[in-house]
Amino acid sequence: MSDDARRDEDAKRDDLPNGMAVLTRERDYADVTAISISVRGGSRNEHDDTVGAAHFMEHMFFQGTPSRPTSDAVFGPISARGGWLNAYTSFENINFQAVVKNEDFGLALDTLADMLVNSLFAEDRIDKERQVVLEELIRGKNDPRRYAVELFFKNVWDEHPARNLPIGSRETLANSDRRVLVAFRDANFLASNMVTAVVGDQKHEDVVERVTAAFERMPNGRKPEFLTAPMPPAKARRIEETIPGTQAQIVFGLPAPGADHLDTYALDIVSATLGEVGRRLVGEIRDRRGLASGVGSSYSTLSDVGCWWAMVGTSPGNVDQVVELITEQIRRIRSEPISAGDLEDAKSYIEGRAVLGLQTSIAFAQYLADREAIGVEPPLDEYLRRVASVTVDDVERVAQAYLDPDTATLVLLRPA
């Protein structure tokens, strides 16, 4: 981790004796408090034949502890106060979170700590919960957009471990028995491998004291190794499948560097120019031709790898035209320098979005916890400084380096 990433100007920080980092942002005006606990380790750290076990395991933390023996007893008290409790498993981390009225902070923290320290992982609950996870899996497959993006992610990264998606498959879930789930837990759920972030009307010292007490019995050990992998080469691929319905889905994209790379900041500008601010894709595809109701596009990053992708749902007859229009816009950003005005607009957008996008207590807590747990991205102000220093030449250079449309991965789902 670079020295820069340690400054944390946007949050107060303490490292507990057991190695857990605690980050807080005091908001004396807030009505609610959010807790976000991020554990490093996710689907990219799983074995190919049991991928999905991390996510399945995450479900088991909601299935009972000695003092909260059922999931009702886990969820109920927080929910009955109008708050909520949830978790997600991603490529590189697992995040547990709660949002409650300020006065219920203790209840939420104690519940989360009990889940993380004492969950039973009872055999019969594991078999039942596997059924729920399978329902979650087929629910995702039922949504054609989601399915198209999943296919893209599975392919664009070639052999890089990021190709393992958190949800897994029927086969890998069947392979994931209690032993597999517990092995993942024991390897990763260590205080030194966790970050707790709290945002709300809470005093930092008070939070540190309560987190220390709540996680006193959290297992500890040496922070596990987190293996990185080289960025995969871009390869031209075309993945076609048929789906029900009358609409085709297109995902078009390429591998790109991860958050640990200095080209990240220029790629954020490229992405904003093609997408939200410059509207180059939506301008051609939707505004000018009405070929789709919108164009989703994003530069998504893990720590050591990322990808840029665009996604469009359209009538089957428009598919070739839409793919051509996306290709054209990528060629344009590679060959024609963006104007100084476009560059300034993209920078100003990214800065403003940082404030507005991190408005809710949970958005900010999650941002802090995940950033710290994964440990690659610098604090917000440093991130914004780096975005501000991107030049017109940087944009052209990264577009040429990473976005060659002749090496793109194309996912195409057409109605049968």
Partner 1 sequence: MGRGDRGRGLHEEHIERAVLPNGAVVLSRYLPDPDIVAICIGSRAGARFEDDRTAGSAKFLEKLYLQGTSRRPGPELVQRPVTIRGGSVGTLAGSEMVVFQSQVRSVDLDVMLDVLSDVVLESTFSQDRIENEARVILEELNARKANPNVLAADIFFPAVFGSHPLARSTAGDLENTPRLTRETIVGFRDQLVVGANTVIAVAGNLQSDQAFAHVERFFSRLPKGEPAPPSDVPSPPPNPGRIEERAGSAQARIIMGGPVPGLRSDDRFPLSVANAVLGGSGFRLFREIRDLRGLSYDPSPAVVQFPDAGLWMAAAGTDPANLDEVLQIMDREIRRLAVEPLSDEDMTNAKEYLDGSLVVGLETFAAQAFQMIRDETYGVRVLSQAHREGIQRVTTEDVQRVAQQYLRPEEATLVVIRP
Q: Quote the tokens at residue 217.
A: 């019995």
Among 83, 253, 375, 379, the residue binding partner 1 under the rule CB under 8 A is: 83
Q: Which of 49, 143, 205, 320 binds partner 1 (CB under 8 A)?
A: 143
- Confirm or reject binding of residue 144 to partner 1 (CB under 8 A): yes
Please count the other Cβ atoms lying within 10 Å of the Cβ belonging to residue 6: 12
Single residue of 13, 204, 237, 286 touching partner 1 by CB under 8 A: 286
Q: Are 292 and 414 in contact (CB under 8 A)?
A: no
Could you tell me which stretch among 112-120, 188-196, 276-284, 328-336 binds partner 1 (CB under 8 A)? Answer: 276-284
Spatial separation of the C-alpha atoms in residues 268 and 301, rounded to whole Å: 10
State which residue, 238 or 288, has the beta carbon closest to partner 1.
288
Q: Are 99 and 107 in contact (CB under 8 A)?
A: no
* Contact predicate 35/202, CB 8 Å: no
User: Of 340, 349, 357, 347, nearest to 393 (Cα)?
Assistant: 340
Does position 52 interact with partner 1 (CB under 8 A)? The reply is no
Environment class of 66 (CB within 10 Å of its CB; exposed 0-12, middle 13-18, buried 19+): exposed
Q: Of 230-249, which residues contact partner 1 (CB under 8 A)?
A: 243-247
| The two structure tokens encoding residue 175 | 């392979």
3-state secondary structure of 95: strand
Under the binding rule (CB under 8 A), the answer on residue 168 touching partner 1 is no
Compute the half-sphere exposure of residue 387: CA atoms within 13 Å on the CB side of its CA: 27
The least CB distance from residue 197 to partner 1, in Å, is 17
Q: Is 137 exposed, middle or buried (0-12, 13-18, 19+ CB in 10 A)?
A: middle
- 375 by DSSP, 3-state: which? coil
Binding mask 6-35 for partner 1 (x = CB under 8 A): ---------------------xxxxxx---
In this chain, which of 172, 297, 361, 409 binds partner 1, going by CB under 8 A?
361
Options 315, 335, 391, 400; binder of partner 1; rule CB under 8 A: 315
Which stretch, 130-138, 155-163, 250-258, 383-391, contacts partner 1 (CB under 8 A)?
130-138
What is the contact mask toward partner 1 in residues 147 to 166, using x (rule: CB under 8 A)?
A: x-------------------
Q: Please report, as a single letter, which amino acid is at residue 316.
A: P
Instruction: Considering the complex, state which of residue 2 and residue 79 has its C-beta at the smaller distance from partner 1.
Output: 79
Neighbours of 212 (CB within 10 A): 15
What is the smallest separation between the CB atom of 284 and partner 1, expressed in angstroms?
10
Amino acid (1-letter code) at residue 383 = Y
Least separation in angstroms between CB 35 and partner 1: 13
Of 229, 354, 384, 401, the residue at the interface with partner 1 (CB under 8 A) is: 354
Among 2, 79, 335, 339, interactor with partner 1 by CB under 8 A: 79
Residue 128 touching partner 1 (CB under 8 A): yes
**Paired tokens of 5:** 């990433």
Among 350, 368, 376, 390, binds partner 1 (CB under 8 A): 350
Mapped onto helix, strand or coil, the DSSP state of residue 191 is helix
Q: Which of 14, 18, 76, 107 binds partner 1 (CB under 8 A)?
A: 76
